[in-house]
Each structure stands twice: as C-alpha cells, then as structure tokens.
Structure 1
C-alpha cells in the first residue's frame, strides 16, 4: 500500500497548502490524481480539464500521463465548465478541477444551464472545500453544498479520506450525469480502511455503533467523528458514527434507520455552513418521515465570513477540531 506518515504538525505551513492530517497520521499522496490516471488507462473517453490549478488539485499527474487528453483553460472557471459541457456532448467524460469557491461561485450559472440542465456527463472535482484553507472568505467554500444542492439532477459527493476518493473516482466516472465532488488533495489522511468500508454512490455506512450519541457526518468530519468517539469512550460515552459521503441523493433510509426508536443525541458534523448543507438535509428527512430524535444538534460552521489563519487554530475556533467537537457533545449531553 502506497502510504506515508505525516511526521510534522502543519501549524506554520502556508494556509493554501496546509494538510488536514495530524501528526503521526497515516496519509496517501494524491489519491485523486493517481486513481484518475489508473482509470484513464482503461477508458480513453476520460479527459482532464482545469482552470490553472492542475498542480493544486493533483490533476498534474493526469497531465503528465496523458498530455494529449489534458486541457488547461487558464483562470477562467466559467470557460472551464462550458468547455467541459461541450466535451461531454461529444461523448467524452471530462474531469474538471479547480478550487471549490471558484467552481461554484464564479461558474454556477454555467454548471446550472450548460451542464446540469442537459444532464451532461461532467465530473467536477473541486479542492479546498469548507474550512480546509486558512486564506479567509475568498478561498473558503463554506456554502458550496448549499448552492449545489439546489441544482436538479446533480449528484454531490463529500468523501472523507484517501480511500473514499480512490473508490469514488471510478464510480463517478461510470455514473451517467453530472457530479460535484469535494476534493482533498496532496497528503490525504487514510482512516476508513480500518472500518471494513467501501464507497457506494448514494449509500451511507455505519462505521461504529454507540448507544448515547449518533454522529452523522460527511467529508473529513467523519474522521473527526471517529476521533471524538475514541476520546469520549474514555469518559464512558458511547458514540456511533454514520458516514454520509453522498450528500445528494441522500441515503434517507439509512438515516431513518439509525435515528428511529433510538433514544440518543443526534449530531450532524460537517465541514460546511450550518445553512443549506448536510445538517438541514438530514433535518428535512427526519421531519418528512416523522422521526423525532431525543435531541438534535448541528456541528457545522457558523453562518458567517470566517477568519484567516492556521487550520488547527480555525478548526478549534469554529468547533470542528477533535477537542472542540468532543467538548460540544459533552455539553449537549448535559
């Protein structure tokens, strides 16, 4: 297994390239880029297209392997999405990469009208989702899920770790229709291989059981939830974790089954604003199915323009670090 260990804390690392991996954590380098290169060897219809960010989305590996199938569109996300749509119309399967803020905010109308309305086979893989960079509101895509959830027919993926990404790449390529995937790049933590886990589009998976708290999570917040479950176990607090890597379509059946008839605190943990993300999607599902948890809390990012700074500091400030999330859950249990 191609795996490295994160040896140093990232406190002083540039906010743009900071890793979410903690000291001593297992990581895999560029899982997206490597998985796409491997898949493209089997499928000549796959092309890579980016908005001047190949190196920073791991698409440079694809460009090196298949230069004749790689397209550099420059710093123009609207052109990126429009061109990807045109390629899809010609029977290609474009993987379009950029940063999540630019791919959603700048190019939203092109995604909506050019790609989604015609159900084109474009795979948008966007890095720096939520609070994964410390560069402040200009680069923190804290509302991308809220925007993209409103687009009809769009599949939305929020993978947790390197394993999730590796397994998601061939599945989203095989999926007919547009996909938006939040992308972790560089040295990506590896955690789900310890839980007999496999990624499936549209499916949520119970990673561990617990009688007092249920954390429903997506993205790297599933990693945080598993860490918190270990922390709270020392305080005799039993925490279950339900990982939801597909935000749309949401696996409502798995969520209802995990919540119904169980008297425990339900916490939605997400690397996204509490407005319009996984938390509100789960709350809507529970309400429509007339399922009432014993208690319900959102552990997402505040409805605000967030500060700039080192990621460990910001994660603690906004309640999504291991220590902060454990503290919040203990307070909610009182």
Structure 2
C-alpha cells in the first residue's frame, strides 16, 4: 500500500502565491516578520520586489495592504491567524471590510494543531471574528490541492477574503480529475443516509476516516467538505439535514461562532434538525504535539467516530 502524501496547507499557500504572481503582476505579498513560518519566503525568493516585510506590526501591515488595494494592486497580507484576525481585527474591520477593499488575508498556524506554541498562538476564534465582518469571504481548505485552488479563487474574487491555513501536514484527499473549487459551494465526499458529517479544514480527512469506522458498525455517514464557511452553502447543508435527519459539524475551531454556529443558524431557519458540534469546547488550547492535541480534543478520526456513534 502506497504511503499517503501529506503537505501543510501553509506550504501550499506559499507555493500558490508564486504561481499566481507568475501570471499576474498586480500580486503583492506582505508579511509581519514571519515569512519563514508562513512560507511566504518562497514568494520573497522569486519576487523580492513584490514582497514587503512589515516587521512585527500586523496592524500596520493591514493598513499598508488596504493602501495597495486602493491603488489597484491585489495584496496578500500574511501572518499567524492569532495576529491577522486577532491583533489586527480593528484594521481588518475598518480599513478593509468597511470600504470593501480587495485585500486577501493569508492566516497560517490556525487552530490547536499549532502544537507546542501553546494557547496564546492557537487561534480557535478567528473564523468567528471574521464571520462578523460584512462582506468578508472565509475559506478554510482541507488539503494542498484545495489550498492552492483557494488562493487562486481568492485572487479572482473582488473583495476581502480571509484564508485559513495550518501548520500540520495533512493528507491530500482532493486528487481526483473531477475536483472543482468554487467559492460558496461545499463538496459531498461520501454519500450516506444515517448522519451527515459536515467538516472543514484538516478535520475533513479525519471525518472521512471516521466515516469508514462508522461503516464497519453499520452506520452510513455522509461526509461533506465545507471549504467556504462564508458564504455558506446553505442549500447543501439543508439537503443533507433533510436526507439524514441528524447533522454533526467538525472543526478545528471553537464551537462558538465557527462552522457549527453557521450550520445551526441555517438549519434553525430552514430545516430544524438535531445537531452535534465537534470542535474546541469553549476552552483555550495548550502546549503539546499537534497530533496529541487533536486526539485530546476529540478532533482525530477516533474522537470523531466516538462522538458521532454516541450521537446516532
């Protein structure tokens, strides 16, 4: 059996920026003294004249990005999610969101899989924060292929986009000829009738593995990949809920304000359905190996399997 290829989506982000810049000379990349970690150093090496290191000044970086966008450039402002969404929230809201400028935010090192950096750097609140900004598109890709497609789609979209990337290497699951990325459209990866598992980011591959374990127990789980959390594919969510009767959301993010909240808001309006939210349960993360943290917080395949089985 061949070994599964794993790539961190932050690496995909850096590589995608280079390919994008080869085709479009209006692409600029900004960083806040973290180019090696966010992988924008890959871009810096190829296009040093279009890379701006703003130093440890994320709020200023967002302001510079807004200025570049106002002149017709397409800036990709890059930093850890904790800093891009957290520290610079006011600037993202007022300097990018309010004037609806064409700024793309590449937020890496999101979620508890940041690992040993600990709770201060494990941003489990960024999706919730960005969802509140009017007009902000939120993309959370599940693997290397989807991350590269998300960067391209973000460039082609006119307006602000928040992209969420991870530090941990994750399996490639979208390597099929019919794969298509479209903002606002979820993807059904596995059909099922007993329960719908709606997942995002690195939790998608874990949910697929959990579904296989559930199948061995006679539970037929549908698995849906929601790479765009805003705008949410409400039609797909509602259809899955009506077909399966029960829904489980899975995200490497707080259960408050993220994918789970978006799904529940939709279903409460359009198709009231029992829902279980799997994610970080209103607590901070902690320092430790990424894989061990995912296990402890119930976000690996075994944890998802156990939660879904109990719910069904």
How would you bin the TM-score normalised by the shorter chain?
A: over 0.9
Match of 1:292 among 272, 279, 282: 272
Deviations 1:32-76 (A, max 9, x none): 211111111110000111001111111111101101101001111
Describe the superposition over 1:79-107 as per-residue Cα deviations: whole angstroms up to 9, x where unpaired. 11111111111111001110000111110
Closer, same or farther: CA 274–187 of 1 in aligned 2, 3 Å: closer
**Match of 1:212?**
194
Match of 1:268 among 249, 253, 262: 249
1:161–1:184 contact (8 Å) kept in structure 2: no
1-structure distance, mates of 2:298, 2:169: 23
- The more displaced of 306-315 and 120-129 is 306-315
- The aligned counterpart of 2:128 is 146
Aligned to 2:35: 54
Q: Is 1:164 the equivalent of 2:146? A: yes
Correspondence list, 1:77-116, <5 A: 77-116=58-97
Q: In structure 1, what is the equivalent of residue 309 of structure 2?
A: 330
Matched residues, number? 308
Contact 1:26-1:191 at 8 Å conserved across structures? no
Counterpart of 1:224? 206
Equivalence for 2:216: 234
Aligned partners of 1:186, 1:323: CA distance in 2, in Å?
18
- TM-superposed CA distance for 1:136, in Å, is 2.0
Judge conservation of contact 2:113–2:168 (CA < 8 Å) in 1: no
Q: Deviations over 1:289-315 (max 9, x none)?
A: 1x122x310111110112221122211
Q: Hey, what does 1:41 align to over in structure 2?
A: 22
Q: Is the 8 A contact 2:7 2:170 kept in 1?
A: yes
Q: Distance in 2 between matches of 1:238 and 1:196?
A: 24
Aligned to 1:19: none
CA distance in 1, matches of 2:129, 2:7: 30
Contact 1:155–1:178 (CA<8 Å) still a contact in 2?
yes
What is the rounded CA distance, in whole Å, between the counterparts of 1:200 and 1:168 in structure 2?
Answer: 8
Asked if the contact 1:213–1:240 (Cα under 8 Å) also holds between the matched residues in 2, the reply is yes
Alignment correspondent of 1:259 = 241
In structure 1, distance between residues paired with 2:263 and 2:180 = 22
C-alpha distance in 2, partners of 1:50/1:93?
14
CA drift of 1:194 comes to 4.6
| Structure 1 alignment gaps of length 5 or more | 6-23
Per the alignment, residue 16 of structure 1 pairs with none
Contact preservation (8 Å) 1:155, 1:179: yes
Partner residue, 1:13: none
Using the TM superposition, give the Cα deviation of residue 25 of structure 1 relative to its aligned residue in structure 2, in angstroms: 2.9
Q: For structure 2, which runs of at least 5 residues remain unmatched after alignment?
A: none
State the Cα RMSD in Å. Answer: 1.6
TM-score for both structures, normalised by structure 1: 0.89
Cα distance between partner residues in 2 of 1:96 and 1:236? 46
Equivalent-residue separation in structure 1 for 2:118 and 2:52 (angstroms): 29
Partners of 1:141 and 1:254 in 2: CA distance: 28
User: d(CA) in 1 for partners of 2:278 and 2:177?
Assistant: 23
Distance in 2 separating the partners of 1:39 and 1:263: 40
For residues 194 and 214 of structure 1, the distance between their equivalents in structure 2, rounded to whole angstroms, comes to 22
Deviation at residue 188 of structure 1 after TM alignment: 4.5
SS of corresponding position for 2:159 = coil
The two structures have a TM-score, normalised by structure 2, of: 0.95
Moved over 6 A (4+): none
Structure 1 196/236 Cα, relative in aligned 2: closer, same or farther at 3 Å? Answer: farther
